[in-house]
Amino acid sequence: MRKTLLALALGMITTTAFAAGEHGGSHADVSEADIDRTISFEAGDMWFDSESLDISPGETVKFEIVNTGNLGHEFVIGDAEAQEAHRKMMQEMSGGHDDGGHDMAEGEHGGNMPAITIAKGETAELVWTAPENVDDLEYACNIPGHYEAGMSGNIDLQG
C-alpha cells in the first residue's frame, strides 16, 4: 500500500514539473545532474552579447541570461520560420505598445518553443536539450521591434 501511494505521489510530481517546464520555460523537468554545460550571457537593450552559440546535438544546456537593460526581454529558441511566426503574433497582440508585449509573451508561446522572459535587472534560466536532427536554430527576443534592432543570434548544432 505504501509503495503504491509513493508511486502515485511521484507520478504527480513528475507531471506537475513537466507542465511547468512547458509553460514557463522552467527547468523543473530536468535535474541539475542532466546539465552538460551552463552558458551565461547578457541581454541588453536590443542586443545579446553572444551572437552565436555552438551546441552539440543532444547536449543539455542551461542558459543563464542577465538582463542588464532597461526593458524587459525574452529569449526564445526556434527555427527561423517559427521565430518569424512568433514575432508576427507578438506584434498583433501588442497593438503597437512596446511594453505590453512582455507579459503576453509568456502565455502565448504555445509550448513548443522554449522561451523565457527576463525582466530588467533579473537573471533568468532556461534548460534546453538540443535536438538531434536539426542543423541551425535561432534564438531571439521577439518583443516588437527588438529582433529587428538586433536581438537574435544563431545556434550552430554541430554533429
Positions in the binding site for Cu ion (CB under 5 A):
73, 141, 143, 146, 151
Nearest distance from C-beta of residue 115 to Cu ion, angstroms: 12
Q: Which is nearer to Cu ion, 29 or 64 (CB)?
A: 64
Q: Which is nearer to Cu ion, 65 or 157 (CB)?
A: 65
Residue 152 is classified by DSSP as: E
Q: Which is nearer to Cu ion, 29 or 106 (CB)?
A: 106
Nearest distance from C-beta of residue 114 to Cu ion, angstroms: 16
Q: Which residues contact 130 (CB under 8 A, 6 or more apart)?
A: 55, 56, 57, 58, 59, 60, 61, 155, 157
Q: Are 21 and 115 in contact (CB under 8 A)?
A: no
Nearest distance from C-beta of residue 146 to Cu ion, angstroms: 3
